[in-house]
């Protein structure tokens, strides 16, 4: 069973999260990824807790299956070695501040004439163009500036960041999409492309309902807690032992919900259509909770699932990692150590491809410069 990217070699100069996430996904899809790190310290996440045997679980979760070589791109000998790697690579990924690679002599305009098939992926806070291109950024900054924090949290409370680092993760996902598109095009043209992805741009790209609401009403939405501002009922509800979620996203599902709960509301003009339900969302929530408060969560989830109404529990991460559906989809995998024993735990690959093995384990995360000998040996082989 062939992995789709098994003949693709990636030079991963990225660090922390956005770029390493894109490169990690390429590993999961079969690519040969060589992580080029700073001598002495390597990727910043090598120092991120939690640690096991003085090794970072965070680093292992994002860099398993990669090889590592430490190179000082200002040193003559290391530059010569790096250029040998460039000659064999299909993709270069970097997430330095714009201008850094140019100062080193390895920007797109310099590399493309020398290595015309090389695809150059650059992910940064604000992109390689625009007045703020040179500003530094982290996930928190782009979630705030990109509007995501303005709609996250409870009404009349201070804004909060999304718990997952979506400023980085979404940018990494868009970077992967751009690189895959460039690889596809190269099959026809023989030419590489520069893929420029900004974390800030990526936040705007996921504000589908917020942009629609603002453009039509002229008023930007604020935080609405767990409730979707354009679909009702679509939020958390109290049972006798805590909260669970109901997402009845259309009139048919709302009628099923009413039938299951014994609520005579499906033909009530205040609730018969989604726009009407959105206008009367608070009243509808009270009417539903007048029923759901009488029984525990598992009762209502079972009842509504039997009725075909989308519903579910609110699980913590430990519960998610034991969820039978998650486990059946191989979404919790072991990262092995050098002896082939389970060492760390990471998320599996959500991209399931027919004819490709969905492995239950991942190769180890590399020691800093731990693959130098193997990489040098690979460079000597004519077919890679």
Active centre residues (catalytic): 228
Give all strands of the β-sheet with 332-336 in edge-to-edge order. 342-347, 332-336, 361-362
Tell whether the torsion through CA atoms of 26, 29, 33 and 37 is positive or negative: positive
- Cβ atoms of 123 and 173 within 8 Å: the answer is no
Extract the tokens encoding 364. 């180890």
Extract the tokens encoding 233. 């009922």
Three-state DSSP at 336 gives strand
- Cβ atoms of 43 and 82 within 8 Å: the answer is no
Measured CA to CA, the distance from residue 247 to residue 309 in angstroms comes to 7
Q: Is 187 exposed, middle or buried (0-12, 13-18, 19+ CB in 10 A)?
A: exposed
- Cβ atoms of 259 and 253 within 8 Å: the answer is no
Measured CA to CA, the distance from residue 91 to residue 189 in angstroms comes to 16
Q: How many CA atoms lie within 13 A of 33 on its CB side?
A: 30
Looking up tokens 């994002």, which residue turns up?
62
Q: How far apart are the first and last CA of the chain?
A: 20
């Amino acid at each position: 069973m062939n992995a789709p990217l098994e003949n693709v070699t990636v030079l991963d100069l990225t660090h922390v999260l956005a770029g390493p996430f894109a490169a990690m996904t390429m590993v999961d899809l079969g690519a040969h990824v060589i992580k080029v790190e700073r001598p002495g310290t390597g990727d910043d996440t090598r120092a991120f807790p939690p640690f096991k045997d003085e090794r970072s679980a965070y680093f292992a979760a994002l860099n398993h299956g990669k090889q590592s070589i430490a190179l000082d791109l200002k040193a003559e000998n290391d530059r010569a070695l790096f250029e040998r790697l460039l000659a064999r690579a299909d993709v270069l990924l970097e997430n330095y501040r714009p201008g850094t690679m140019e100062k080193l002599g390895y920007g797109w305009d310099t590399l493309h004439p020398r290595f015309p098939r090389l695809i150059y992926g650059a992910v940064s806070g604000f992109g390689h163009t625009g007045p703020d291109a040179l500003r530094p950024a982290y996930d928190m900054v782009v979630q705030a500036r990109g509007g995501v924090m303005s709609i996250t949290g409870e009404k009349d409370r201070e804004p909060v960041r999304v718990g997952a680092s979506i400023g980085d993760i979404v940018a990494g996902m868009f970077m992967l999409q751009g690189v895959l598109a460039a690889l596809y095009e190269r099959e026809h043209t023989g030419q590489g492309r520069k893929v420029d992805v900004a974390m800030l741009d990526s936040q705007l790209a996921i504000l589908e309902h917020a942009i629609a609401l603002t453009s039509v009403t002229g008023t930007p939405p604020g935080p609405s807690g767990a409730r979707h501002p354009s679909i009702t009922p679509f939020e958390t509800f109290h049972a006798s032992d805590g909260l669970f979620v109901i997402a009845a996203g259309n009139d048919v599902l709302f009628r099923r919900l009413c039938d299951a709960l014994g609520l005579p509301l499906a033909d009530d003009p205040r609730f018969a259509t989604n726009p009407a339900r959105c206008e009367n969302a608070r009243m509808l929530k009270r009417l539903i909770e007048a029923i759901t408060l009488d029984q525990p969560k598992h009762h209502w989830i079972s009842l509504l699932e039997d009725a075909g109404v989308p519903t579910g529990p609110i699980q913590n991460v430990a519960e998610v990692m034991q969820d039978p559906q998650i486990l059946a989809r191989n979404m919790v995998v072991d990262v092995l150590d050098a002896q082939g024993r389970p060492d760390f735990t990471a998320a599996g690959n959500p991209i399931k491809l027919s004819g490709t093995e969905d492995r239950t384990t991942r190769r180890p995360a590399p020691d800093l410069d731990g693959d130098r000998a193997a990489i040098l040996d690979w460079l000597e082989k004519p077919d890679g």
